[in-house]
Amino acid sequence: MAASSSHTPVSVRVQDRQDAFHPQPSDEFVVTPEIKQVSTRALAYMDAGYPVHFTGVAGTGKTSLAFHVAAQLGQPAVLLHGDDEYARSDLVGSEVGYRKSKVVDNFIRSVLKTDEQVKKMWEENRLAKACREGYTLIYDEFTRSRAEANNVLLSILEERILNLPTRSGGGDGYIRVHPDFRAIFTSNTEEYAGTHRTQSALLDRLITIELDYQTRETEIRIAQSRSNILAQKASRIVDIVRAVRSMDGSDDGPSVRAAIVLSRVFSGREEDIEPGNRLFYDACVDVLRPARRSLLDDDNDLRDRIESTVDRILRRPRSASGPPPTGSANGSASGDGSRTPGSADDD
């Protein structure tokens, strides 16, 4: 039977007629002692009124962990995805037109009074709504937005005030941030394409936790939970992914997301994952090669290197224990920027 097609790590229930949702824990989310420690620390920071920032290379579980932590808060949340086109108004709101009202008073027949008023109409966006209602803000990959758009966060996180100068005439020029407002940020490291350098003033207001690749055991559990593949197959796929990741010693190698893809493709197939399975070898090349590397260059030995790695892992005795050597480090859990093994398959 084919594996389930669901890719969502956390179930989301959308509130009726409200721009918010309820994040709920998912059975597919793998909670390890390290992740439990990180989650506990993040919740402690937010209970004290500080926003949390999960950062790391792609595939270390930042978004999944953000949703998991938000679910522990037990309150509605709003989700923003960083965007280079964002301006301040996309976060807090803007004037969207005018409303005209006219009152005609003809109570006395010989006297006709009219009163016309034209008011600006304001449409509140998600950040302002979260501040007003006390929701959790999940700002995913916030460094994809420009620094000038994110400047509005400075007073929200420090003075707990959202300043709306364009609404000052109507008495709503300031919003006092609700005591239940919480904020969780995620970002890829700054060398990633499409990211902007964040202003130091904003980073100084965040408590940053850096996530590293997951441990081998955690990656096997994640691959199984997302595909229902047998443990023996999952361990071989994970070992291949980790070996390919370490080939060049860089941080842009395949993540656990690649292990999930391969596990989902082969969990429902009858043939075994073994030497000589041409489909599996080709699939590993397709999934594990760096996105910007071509296989068509005559001098490119990337296919041979990946296939030889796959062959080496598959020809190991099935009773062999322990992972192949990899370039991934698993740091201790710390809120001061030290690296911590990640949680799941999202960025």
pLDDT greater than 60 at residue 31? yes
- Mean pLDDT, rounded, for 254-279: 92
Tokens 């993540």 correspond to: 255
The residue ranges of every structural domain in the chain are 11-87+127-212+331-341, 93-123, 216-314
In the prediction, which pLDDT does 272 show? 86
- Mean pLDDT, rounded, for 236-247: 94
Condensed to tens digits (0 to 9), the pLDDT of residues 46-96 reads: 999 999 999 998 888 999 999 999 999 999 999 999 999 999 888 987 655
Beta carbons within 10 angstroms of residue 152's beta carbon = 19
- The residue type of 123 is E
pLDDT greater than 50 at residue 104? yes
11-87+127-212+331-341 CATH choice from 3.30.530.20, 3.40.50.300, 3.40.50.620, 3.30.420.10: 3.40.50.300
Condensed to tens digits (0 to 9), the pLDDT of residues 163-199 reads: 887 655 555 778 899 999 999 999 988 767 778 899 9
The helix, strand and coil proportions of the chain, stated in percent and rounded to the nearest 5, come to 35, 20, 45
In the prediction, which pLDDT does 334 show? 40
pLDDT greater than 80 at residue 157? yes
Tokens 């499409």 correspond to: 194
- Mean pLDDT, rounded, for 239-262: 87
- Mean pLDDT, rounded, for 314-336: 53
Using alpha carbons, select from 259, 258, 254, 233 the residue that is nearest to residue 244. 254
Beta carbons within 10 angstroms of residue 60's beta carbon = 32
Burial class (CB in 10 A: 0-12, 13-18, 19+), 241: buried
Q: What's 234-271 look like in SS3?
A: HHHHHHHHHHHHCCCCCCCCCCHHHHHHHHHHHCCCCC
